[in-house]
Amino acid sequence: MSSTVTISSPDGETEAEFVPEANMVCGSLRWRGAELLDAGRGLEAYAQHGKTMGIPLLYPWANRLAEPSYRVAGVAVALPAPDGLYALDPHGLPIHGALPGRLRWSVQAGSPPDRVAAQLDWSAPELMELFPFEHQLVYEAELSDGRLTLATTLQATGSLPVPVSLGFHPYRRIPGSSRAGWRVSLGAAARLVLDERMIPTGEREPLAERERAFVLGEQSWDDGLAGLDAGEPRFAVTAGDSTVTVTFHEGFGYAQVYAPPAHDYICFEPMTAPTDALRSGEGLSVVEPGGEYRTCWSVTVTP
């Protein structure tokens, strides 16, 4: 796999690594020498087969599409065969957008050591087959003491409006601890009702208080959430005196929580729109030509 870009916080205690030729995945986030991300099956499996790990950007759609086709902004799209372009979930549904190895970013030169910026030009024919909306995406990462902040800015550079259905999938863990005692808090009030294929039905149900603050143990989560808290919603996991918090600062109206049993990680996924939004239109923002859409979120660790 290609070269890695490493950034460090001013105090030297936090480091993050990114891979521009694998969709700018953050493959490592270390705090005081301890790894905060799960490596999954590794970088090659992620880039070539979409086996997510670290902090991947899910693009140009997050999670699943109910069918290999969609119609949005007046444009009907039939996806080509998936081979080498996108992955399928166990139900055979397109998942997580283009395969990461297809998305190669140009890193902007001259950034200070605590940040990196990169740009993706979405105009290549193979990409336009999946998502025929010409645009550019700017990705910015910055480290401060114990905090990684990630921002994207979508710029609609073509003649068509651009729908926004991106998300991130941070596989977070707390070193030296087991999920059996992890205390979780969720910054959302409602769950999206899903069908048997994990596609939202359009209905919602309220989260009980015991579902918003709980000990993870062996619970299994793979839930879409809405009704996010006002201001800057926060999702956190605590073990002992250590807490890792994901904060949605801008541009995200939905979340996904993923914590399969027997794995010592939990994912709080910021999403601009719910699963299948390119087909359903629910919560979907559309950027007019010449306009832009910005997202920003952060991961913070506190002792």
d(CA 246, CA 147): 10
Residue 46, sorted as left (phi over 0), alpha (psi -120 to 50) or beta, turns out to be alpha
Q: Which residues contact 254 (CB under 8 A, 6 or more apart)?
A: 192, 224, 225, 226, 228, 271, 272, 273, 274, 283
Largest CA distance in the chain: 53
Nearest Cα to Cα of residue 188 among 224, 217, 218, 164: 224
Query: How far apart, in whole angstroms, are the C-alpha atoms of residue 164 and residue 250?
Result: 14
Question: Distance between CA 55 and CA 273 in Å, rounded?
Answer: 18
Question: What global pTM score does this model have?
Answer: 0.96
101 backbone dihedrals φ, ψ, rounded to 5°: -65, -15
CA 173, CA 190: separation in Å to the nearest integer?
24
Contacting residues for 223 by C-beta, under 8 A, at least 6 apart:
191, 192, 194, 256, 257
Provide the CATH number for the domain formed by 5-302 in this structure: 2.70.98.10
pLDDT tens, N- to C-terminus, the chain (303 residues): 568 999 999 999 999 999 999 999 999 999 999 999 999 999 999 999 999 999 999 999 999 999 999 999 899 999 999 999 999 999 999 999 999 999 999 999 988 999 999 999 999 999 999 999 999 999 999 999 999 999 999 999 999 999 999 999 999 999 999 999 999 999 999 999 999 999 999 999 999 999 999 999 999 999 999 999 999 999 999 999 999 999 999 999 999 999 999 899 999 999 999 999 999 999 999 999 999 999 999 999 998
Q: Give the Cα separation of 300 and 282 in Å (integer).
A: 30
Residue 303 confidence (pLDDT): 86
The domain ranges of the chain are 5-302
**In this structure, what are the phi and psi dihedrals at residue 280, rounded to the nearest 5 degrees?**
-80, -30
Kindly compute the dihedral angle of the four CA atoms of residues 50, 55, 56, 61, in this order, to the nearest 10 degrees.
120
The predicted pLDDT at position 239 comes to 96
pLDDT at 166: 98
Closest C-alpha among 302, 25, 297 to residue 171: 25
Two tokens at 258?
Answer: 């993923």
